[in-house]
Amino acid sequence: MTADTAYAAPTPQVFYIHDDLSDDVRRTHGEHSVAFQLAQELLTLVRRDPQRVVVLQLEEQITRLVGQGSHTPFPVTVGIGQAGERVARQLHQRTGWFPMIRRVNVTREEDGQGGYNLVSTTSQPLAEQLRGVETCPSLAVVDDTVFSGLTMRTVLRALPPAVLARTHAFCLRGVAESLRSLQALCPVTIGFAAPGRIFDEVSFINAAGLVRRMSIRRVGQPSLAFFDRPEWMHAWFPGYADEVIAACRRLNALLEPDTPL
């Protein structure tokens, strides 16, 4: 069995795609560019099965999260990776909750045997990146998505117990089932929580991961975009995966012209 076949993907009953692609391409290439046009065509294409594939928008998730109650500003906020830091800044613009944001540079990486490890993307291990939070009277931890819960759970468990007792976690979207293990550690506020078991009943991806080689990280090998795993694409978009893959390849050629696999 190869590393790729160790990571089989069933067809989820409901497949959620967060649209972080439109703003990304609009910012980097412009709203009137060919790249932006291709991005919109791709997002239209993936919704060919609208009863099963749902595209989520940022504004709706932020509104739902903020609507669950207000918070006194946290002295320190830990943003998990670039995505978590970005979400913390987006929420702070709306609420003022997170005036001091620290990013911990960690990411989920395939172990080659069907599982995942949370690894640091810098020379500093997670514990060192968290040094200093022990003096915080309250702490926020922010990420964009909770799927299996591995990333958020690992960061929370790396906190000193006294700090964890005064920590509140936030995320924009995730799977309700995976929140239980996090809520056993600290309060969690989520913008959109999907019911169902992960993988076969419900799954989440970011749209940018379809076309940018950043979402599938592997030990000692280059990162992949989702279209580089055609078996996943066929599971996610049964009956029209080849069209989605072709659209992803066209857009990737514009977004990452110098990073061929």
Note whether residue 247 is domain-resident.
yes
User: Which residues neighbour 234 within 8 Å (Cβ) at sequence distance 6 or greater?
Assistant: 241
Element (H, E) at 142: strand 139-146
CA 83 to chain centre: 7
Q: How far is CA 135 from CA 88, 157, 203, in A?
A: 21, 17, 37
pLDDT 10s digit of each residue in the chain, 261 long? 454 567 888 999 999 999 999 999 999 999 999 999 999 999 999 999 999 999 999 999 999 999 999 999 999 999 999 999 999 999 999 999 999 999 999 999 999 899 999 999 999 999 999 999 999 999 999 999 999 999 999 999 999 999 999 999 999 999 999 999 999 999 999 999 999 999 999 999 999 999 999 999 999 899 999 999 999 999 999 999 999 999 999 999 999 998 755
The answer to whether 207 and 55 are in contact (CB under 8 A) is yes
Residue 107 DSSP SS3: strand
Same structural domain for residues 235 and 181?
no
Same structural domain for residues 89 and 186?
yes
- Per the structure, the count of domains in the chain is 2
Dihedral sign for Cα atoms in the order 48, 50, 53, 57: positive
Same structural domain for residues 50 and 133?
no
Tokens of 3: 């590393």
Note whether residue 39 is domain-resident.
yes
d(C-alpha 259, C-alpha 261), whole Å: 6
pTM for this predicted structure: 0.93
Domain interval for residue 128:
62-190
Residue 118 DSSP SS3: strand
Last residue of a domain, one of 136, 164, 190: 190
d(C-alpha 261, C-alpha 255), whole Å: 14
Return the amino acid letter for 108. R
d(C-alpha 256, C-alpha 228), whole Å: 14
The answer to whether 31 and 211 are in contact (CB under 8 A) is no
The answer to whether 18 and 145 are in contact (CB under 8 A) is yes
User: Which residues neighbour 73 within 8 Å (Cβ) at sequence distance 6 or greater?
Assistant: 96, 97, 98, 99
Note whether residue 101 is domain-resident.
yes
Annotate 228-252 with b (16+ C-beta within 10 A) or e (fewer): bbeebbbbbbeeebeebbebbebbb
Same structural domain for residues 104 and 29?
no
The answer to whether 216 and 225 are in contact (CB under 8 A) is yes
Same structural domain for residues 117 and 69?
yes
* Nearest alpha carbon to residue 3 among 235, 219, 226: 219
